[in-house]
């Protein structure tokens, strides 16, 4: 006796193809759900998402440990160093602007008399080409 049970209702459910299923992103298709309006991968951003995933894969091959995070950290360090350099340059510009304004306001002939007449400072050579200020004390830009 053969006990083969044949189910006449053995038809697989056919996928319902409608406009919402055709417009689902890959993640929603994988999870077998409909894309909501606030989906992470909406239709109009699929190309950008594919480019981002491709770039992440490229950087993961280049740097298996850190991947794109290593590149991001490196670029953030460059930004930080450039911001510090910009702050120092702005400070130097402010100093030179103040010196120039003082030079224009008082004139080149108006020098303190103590440098010309006092004996202890006769050996003092005034260096006008550089300032003695160091900019290492300036706060870092965060």
Distance separating alpha carbons of residues 140 and 65, to the nearest angstrom = 30
Model's pTM, two decimal places? 0.43
- What is residue 135's DSSP assignment? S
For the residues 74-92, what does the mean pLDDT come to? 97
pLDDT, tens digit, 9 for 90 and up, residues 41-74: 767 777 887 888 899 999 999 999 998 899 999 9
Cα 84 to Cα 62, 94, 104, distances in angstroms? 29, 15, 30
Q: Which has more confidence, 10 or 92?
A: 92
The two structure tokens encoding residue 129: 């080409």
Q: Which has more confidence, 65 or 140?
A: 65
What 3-state class would DSSP assign to 91? helix
Confidence of residue 106 (pLDDT cuts 50, 70, 90): confident
Q: What percent of the chain clears pLDDT 70, i.e. is strictly above it?
A: 57
């Amino acid at each position: 006796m053969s006990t083969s049970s044949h189910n006449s209702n053995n038809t697989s459910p056919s996928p319902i193809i409608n406009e919402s299923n055709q417009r689902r992103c890959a993640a929603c298709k994988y999870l077998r759900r409909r894309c909501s309006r606030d989906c992470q991968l909406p239709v109009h951003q699929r190309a950008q998402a594919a480019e981002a995933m491709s770039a992440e894969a490229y950087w993961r091959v280049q740097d298996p440990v850190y991947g794109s995070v290593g590149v991001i950290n490196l670029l953030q360090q460059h930004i930080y160093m450039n911001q510090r350099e910009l702050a120092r340059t702005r400070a130097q510009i402010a100093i030179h602007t103040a010196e120039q304004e003082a030079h224009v306001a008082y004139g080149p002939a108006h020098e303190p008399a103590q440098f010309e007449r006092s004996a202890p400072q006769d050996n003092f050579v005034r260096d006008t080409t550089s300032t003695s200020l160091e900019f290492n004390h300036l706060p870092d830009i965060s």
